């Protein structure tokens, strides 16, 4: 019995250590075709940036179906927030459309990805985790950006516990129904 227990216990410890070692944005892959394979949720102006940014938010189709029904977001949910720079006028002020919203250029600033997988939150302490969500920020060319404070992402998203640690999906169900 003892010979059997030690290898299994050792394997379990190694698996837990490997899981903890892989905590972080490296777990997330940027979906290449998020603009066509995902459901558009909303566009959010971000006036608090040095240059105007519009955040275009998408969610994978399975998660969109659950959200439409008011059900919890399933394991495997991915939310993409593609930030595009807004245009500016000759004086450096943001260009706005007739509704007062920023006018987006085609230039991608960065792409933020939130992904939910079973057990991912367990790699963080209770005070750090945002459910089973992990966060990653990619450059316009699809490379994981270095020096991002992902703890700040988790801290901010902890405020949205009512909406499964998301800010835009459930409040924008009407956009998902289109």
CATH number of the domain bearing residue 69? 3.50.70.20
Summarize pLDDT for 103-134 with one digit per residue, the tens: 999 999 999 999 999 999 998 988 898 999 99
- List residues bridging with 116 in a β-sheet: 133
pLDDT, residue 19, reads 42
Burial 99-127 (b: 16+ CB within 10 A, else e): eeebebeeebbbbbbbbbeeebbebbeee
Q: Are 176 and 39 in contact (CB under 8 A)?
A: yes
pLDDT per position as a tens digit, 48-93: 888 899 999 999 999 999 888 888 899 999 999 999 999 999 998 9
Does this model's pTM top 0.75? My answer is: yes
Name the pairing type of β-strands 38-46 and 53-60: antiparallel
pLDDT class of 177 with cuts at 50, 70, 90: low
- By the 10 Å C-beta count (0-12 exposed, 13-18 middle, 19+ buried), 18 is classed as exposed
What is the Cα–Cα distance from 122 to 76, expressed in whole angstroms? 16
- Mean pLDDT, rounded, of the chain: 83
Of 165 and 101, the structure prediction assigns the larger pLDDT to: 101
Q: Print the domain residue range for 73.
A: 2-176
Torsion on CA atoms 26, 50, 78, 73, rounded to nearest 10:
130
Q: CB of 122 within 8 A of CB of 94?
A: no
Sign of CA dihedral 155, 156, 157, 163: positive
* Structural domains counted in the chain: 1
């Amino acid at each position: 019995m003892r010979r059997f227990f030690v290898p299994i216990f050792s394997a379990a410890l190694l698996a837990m250590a490997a899981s903890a070692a892989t905590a972080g944005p490296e777990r997330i892959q940027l979906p290449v075709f998020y603009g066509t394979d995902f459901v558009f949720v909303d566009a959010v102006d971000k006036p608090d940036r040095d240059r105007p940014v519009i955040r275009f938010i998408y969610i994978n189709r399975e998660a969109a179906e659950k959200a439409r029904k008011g059900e919890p977001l399933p394991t495997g949910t991915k939310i993409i927030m593609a930030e595009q720079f807004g245009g500016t006028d000759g004086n450096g002020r943001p260009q706005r459309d007739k509704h007062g919203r920023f006018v987006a250029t085609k230039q991608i600033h960065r792409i933020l990805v939130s992904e939910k997988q079973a057990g991912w939150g367990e790699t963080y302490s209770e005070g750090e985790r945002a459910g089973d969500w992990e966060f990653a920020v990619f450059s316009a060319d699809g490379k994981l950006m270095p020096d991002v404070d992902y703890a700040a992402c988790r801290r901010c998203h902890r405020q949205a516990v009512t909406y499964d640690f998301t800010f835009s999906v459930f409040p924008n169900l009407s956009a998902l129904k289109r």
